[in-house]
Structure 1
C-alpha cells in the first residue's frame, strides 16, 4: 500500500474495536444532554425527505407562460412604483381589461 500510514493499529485491533461498539438499539439516553439524544424515526424520515427534494427554483403552478413583451417605460414605472408584486398587479390589470373587452 503506497502513501504514509495514518493509523498505527493493526487490522485485527481495528476489527476488535469496531466489534466492541455497542449496537445502536442498545443505546440508552439518560436525558441529560439533548445533543446526545438519538434521532427519532420521524426525524430520520424528515431528513430522508429533505434529501430527496430537488434544488433550484420551485415548480410553477403550470397555469402561466413566460413571454418576452415590450412595455412603455412610463407604464412599467407606474406598476413598479407600487412595490413588490407589480407583475401580479399588471397581470390583474390585463385580466380586468380582457373581461371588459371580450374577443369575438
Structure 2
C-alpha cells in the first residue's frame, strides 16, 4: 500500500536559490569527492550506463543556429561549441530538476 504524498507545497525559497552563486553555497558538511571515486564513477542517463567519448551523428539544424555558432566559435570550431552548449543546457536543467 502506497502512502499518500504528504507535502502540499515546497517550502523552499526558490527565488533565493535561483539568485545564489557558487560562492554563496555552504559546503561545510559535504565531503569532497576523491579522484579514486571519480575513476569508479559511471555516467548514467535514464538509469542506463553511457559509454565515455563522442559519437558521430548527422543532424539538421536551422541555418541561423549554425551561423550563430560559426560566428562565435573562434578556434575551437562551431561543432565543439554546439556540443558544449548542449552539455551545459543538460547539466543545468538536470541540476535544477534535482533541486526542485
TM range (shorter): 0.3 to 0.5
Structure 2 length-normalised TM: 0.37
Larger Rg: 1
Structure 1 length-normalised TM: 0.36
